[in-house]
Structure 1
């Protein structure tokens, strides 16, 4: 039996194991001079996602907000269709990394077993385990409500705000960020060494807190890859804005599904590709 949603939210505990970065020794070479010291470096660990006792995926993730990551990954990868299908979630620190034990509804687990793939992802690997090229495009949905044109004018200010709200990147220079923009305001920001993980963390937060996904859009400090576009489409998010370049497959996929894709969003300028 599923928990009611208030108890379910309580069960999805915050991951508090890490600040997302740590100090490491470094030798610096500058102007023919050598010095030693400490640098802050973004953390990255293997995180195993275990559904109903069966290991499904091992991803390389910055171990902050792992509960949000697990929810977002489960949704954006189509493992579950609604957060109600998560009955319990437990995060375990182990010597090699982290394990996230997720109990999901029987119907979701049956579907997962039918299509199960075992993957060891690079940072935010988004196509690992796909068995054929046909699967890349097989299950793409259509955006149900197009992004209002006026949202485009909100992108420059959102990008400026996002740059000021990246605590991990501020000290390491090594993290991507994904943010939710609603009515012109940056509502929340999540960071990770992997851009896809940052987006999954954001998705997990939005869904857990019942934030309407048709009332805002995503901005990211990365390039626009196919995987990011696909994750947005999976959640019916209608606008994705990125600071760097898009790929051809990202553009083609966005066009087919009705996603508005804006890239090179910097210095008060941006380019809209769909």
Structure 2
């Protein structure tokens, strides 16, 4: 069973160019994924139900439910009526953290705000970025140029986001895709943890606008640099500057916008 996409009948409607036609189009699967922690419902996310073990680990790390990958004892993922169940099993002391914040609701994507009840918690302090890498504009250009090669679902459907981890030289080492940009980043963070790759040793490239939650997830993962192909929001830019995250946005083949580079990592 393909958990990434399906073939869907559509009709081409001629506008500037004439020629209506009946077609079959590949579309990404978007399904409710019920996330349970220690047997208790924590969240329901709309996601692409592939790489769910990566998603579970990255979600737990991004949410602060765990501090290290080995605190996840087991992950169970299986289809249920109407969607998917993703069950995460943690030690009792970590389960208590989830229980205090557990709240079940449906969101368009993993937004980084699960179980948060007030603005103060949303704006909780982030750790300062301490990792450093030596990279340059050529590395950013190289990663951008090869990103499409790591987006099989995106090439097939044109409807998903990608998150990629790149070496300082711009080589893409791992990539994950999802209908939600936050989900794609959580999957990438989980995949890095499972592969034993330290996020501090490279930079993250996202095929998305740069929102506050993506900055937060990058910083909490310990990665020193984030590159996005679209523009940042005000809070994303402010938070990056506050904690010393190198942030590059509107990254295109011909140029990019450096929002923050406090340590002069980009030559």
Q: Within 5 A, what are the aligned runs for 1:175-194?
A: 175-184=160-169, 185-194=171-180
Q: Which is strand-richer, 1 or 2?
A: 1
Instruction: Give the TM-score normalised by structure 2.
Output: 0.91
Once residues 49 and 19 of structure 1 are traced to their aligned partners in structure 2, the CA distance between those partners, rounded to angstroms, is 17
Choose the corresponding residue for 2:139, options 131, 154, 157. 154
Q: For the structure 1 residues 264 and 178, does the alpha-carbon distance in structure 2 shift closer, same or farther, using more than 3 Å as the test?
A: same
Question: Contact 1:119/1:129 (CA < 8 Å) preserved in 2?
Answer: no
Q: Partners of 1:236 and 1:99 in 2: how far apart? A: 29
How far apart, in 1, do the equivalents of 2:93 and 2:180 lie?
30
Contact 2:168–2:203, Cα closer than 8 Å, also in 1: no
Q: Count matched residues.
A: 257
Question: 1:19 and 1:94, CA in 2 relative to 1: closer, same or farther beyond 3 A?
Answer: closer
The Cα shift of 1:124 comes to 3.1
Does structure 1 residue 18 correspond to structure 2 residue 2? Answer: yes
Equivalence for 2:248: 262
Which segments of structure 1 move beyond 4 Å, counting only runs of 4 or more?
A: none
Unaligned 5+ runs, structure 2: 261-267
Aligned-residue CA RMSD (Å)? 1.5
Cα distance in 1 for partners of 2:200, 2:112 equals 24
1:71–1:83: 8 Å Cα contact kept in structure 2?
yes
**Partner Cα distance (2:31, 2:243) in 1:** 33
1:92 to 70, 78, 82: 78
Aligned match of 1:239: 225
Out of 165, 174, 178, the position equivalent to 2:150 is 165
Secondary structure of 2:130 counterpart: coil
Give 1:110 deviation, angstroms: 1.1
SS of residue paired to 1:168? helix
Contact 2:160 2:180 (C-alpha < 8 Å) held by counterparts: yes
Q: Equivalent of 2:131, from 124, 142, 145?
A: 145
8 Å Cα contact 2:73-2:89 kept in structure 1: yes
1:123 aligns with 2:103: no
Moved more, 174-183 or 31-40: 31-40
- Can you list the C-alpha shifts for 1:148-183, whole angstroms capped at 9, x where unaligned? 4x3444111101111222101101100100101014
